Amino acid sequence: MAEQLQRVREEIGKFIVGQEEAIEYTLFSILADGHALLEGLPGMGKTMLIRTISRVLDLSFSRIQFTPDLMPADITGTNIIQRTESGRQQFEFQPGPIFSQMVLADEINRATPKTQSALLEAMGERTVTILGDSKPMAKPFFVLATQNPIEMEGTYPLPEAQMDRFLCKILVPYPSKEELIEIVKRTTGAQTVQLEKVMDAERLMAAQQMVKEVLVADEMLEYAADLVVATNPKEDNAPSFVKQYVLYGSGPRGFQSIIKLAKARAVYNGRFHVALADIKAVAKPALRHRLLLNYEGEATGRTTDELIEEILNHVPQGALS
């Protein structure tokens, strides 16, 4: 399975230049059967990355362009009146783009909170309820959302409840000079890249089941729990810098996300147990969107990544080291 996942990674790399961390953590989210939020400036290739992954994994794909005038029914679908062969009229459900295996919520923070919340039930319960009728989502089902940095004009902050439903938040950095040159070579020439389908939905769900069965030692669980507890300023044992700069810390979903991502990283690297390096590597993507800074934290320019790094250095590893 690890070899097949590496082939998936190599196939994606035929088209996507650089972005190694973004590619890997998106794959970890998919293996852990979770949703991912990708944040970066416009034009960084976030949309193309998700589209490429759907092709390599051979999953049905739909793209929702979030705009201020997007309505919830534009996402979930709606009932319309249709005339039957007998001449009678009846309601018939027309499914929206949410009914795909991989859904790209493009620039999700450009839509109003009401429309953003239309994704909540689909992401959390894997169902959509329309006029009292509950409809299941496809299997497997992923929402991979992209957003521009929140300080850009014309954006709406995502509700905390929806942010928490993303397994991880992935930062897409600006490419280096060499990567910029390679991007232009691949996108402005006459030659086109033909992507191969390395996996399918059935094989992917088998990989997801394998991830669930990865072993996690009690010591690893305790260390990950200590990390999550240390993010909460109201805890007596919370570090002083957390009490100074953090308003709210991570909840149980943050703990679940760390373990799920750590298991996925273990399988990706050919191991059937979670190592300390796995937990440390996934801590930032799993927690960075679950820490809410207070006024002092924002005023002094602190970032959640900096605080998580300090927490990793602060929490004792005990026998794990």
Residue 240 and residue 136 share a domain: no
Residue 219 and residue 170 share a domain: no
Residue 239 and residue 165 share a domain: no
Strands 127-130 and 133-136: antiparallel
Residue 103 and residue 62 share a domain: yes
pLDDT of residue 106: 86
Judge whether 304 lies within some domain. yes
Residue 32 and residue 174 share a domain: yes
Residue keyed to tokens 């993303």: 166
User: Do 196 and 56 meet the contact criterion of CB atoms below 8 Å apart?
Assistant: yes
Residue 261 and residue 184 share a domain: no
Task: Using alpha carbons, select from 171, 144, 186 the residue that is nearest to residue 15.
Answer: 186
Judge whether 193 lies within some domain. no
**pTM flag (> 0.95):** no
Taking 50 as the pLDDT cut, the residues of the chain under it are none
Domain range spanning residue 19?
A: 2-188
Judge whether 205 lies within some domain. no
Strand partners, 102: 61, 142
pLDDT of residue 147: 82
Strands 36-39 and 168-171: parallel
pLDDT single digits (tens) 181-229:
887 877 776 767 777 888 888 899 999 999 999 999 999 999 999 999 9
Residue 168 and residue 125 share a domain: yes
| Residue finishing a domain among 131, 153, 188 | 188
Judge whether 199 lies within some domain. no
Q: How far, in Å, are 119, 228, 248 from residue 257 at the CA level?
A: 19, 11, 17
Number of domains in the chain: 2
- What CATH number is given to the structural domain containing 272? 1.10.8.80
Cα dihedral 216, 222, 224, 225, rounded to 10, equals 130
Judge whether 59 lies within some domain. yes
Residue 172 and residue 64 share a domain: yes
Residue 158 and residue 10 share a domain: yes
Residue 125 and residue 232 share a domain: no
- What CATH number is given to the structural domain containing 134? 3.40.50.300
Q: Around Cβ 155, how many Cβ atoms within 10 Å?
A: 17
pLDDT of residue 225: 92
Q: Around Cβ 133, how many Cβ atoms within 10 Å?
A: 10
Residue 220 and residue 145 share a domain: no
Residue 40 and residue 84 share a domain: yes
